[in-house]
Amino acid sequence: QKIAVVTSPTGAAIRDILSILKRRYANMHIIIAPVKVQGAGSKEEIAEAIKDLNAGFPDIDVMLVGRGGGSMEDLWAFNEEIVARAIAGSKIPVISCVGHETDFTIADFVADLRAATPSAAAELVVKSKVELAANIAGLEKRLLQSLRIYYENLQGKFRRLASSRMLTNPLALLERPVRRLDDAVEGMIHASGERLRRAGEKLNLQSEKLKALSPL
């Protein structure tokens, strides 16, 4: 959403970067830190711009640091220690984009990522509208698939619940407890009857004994 560019304000690099960024994502917030990229004072300006962006714009998503092609002497500012330390110490992710594909500087090795050219750096940080549309379509498709699977699982749970004995025959839940209660009551009645029978037999036996002892 927010990109910073540390480069010359008049070179081909800034024109290429802005052209690609605006074509791919017109609403991109771009902060340009204009600096000298070669000659006396260039290394200090580049390092200071990187530090100032970190201090003043901590919400920047990525920073492009570089320039277009040139001789080894033209690119030398990006080999300087002060620039390397500023890039390495940046809390904002830095993409170095110095010169052409065959050009390498110390900045490339201390940055978070190296792009072969400034144009390649712009293409790395911002996807085209076609790519964004394809990504959004893919996300929508995966979301719909997830919702369909969730809905089908939910339907399955409802079907299993609806076909369970608890809903189709709620009284079935009471069958086993009632059966146990009936068995217990029947057992108690049987035991009580057995005790009464034995008590009656004892009573009859005692009655017979008393009759046998009676003088009458």
Q: Per-residue pLDDT tens for 146-174?
A: 877 877 777 777 777 667 665 566 666 66
**Residue ranges, the chain, pLDDT below 70:** 127-137, 161-162, 164-174, 178, 206-207, 209-216
Q: Give the percent of the chain with pLDDT over 70.
A: 83
> Is the pTM higher than 0.85?
no
| 61 contacts: CB under 8 Å, gap ≥ 6 | 1, 2, 3, 92, 93, 125
pLDDT at 132: 54
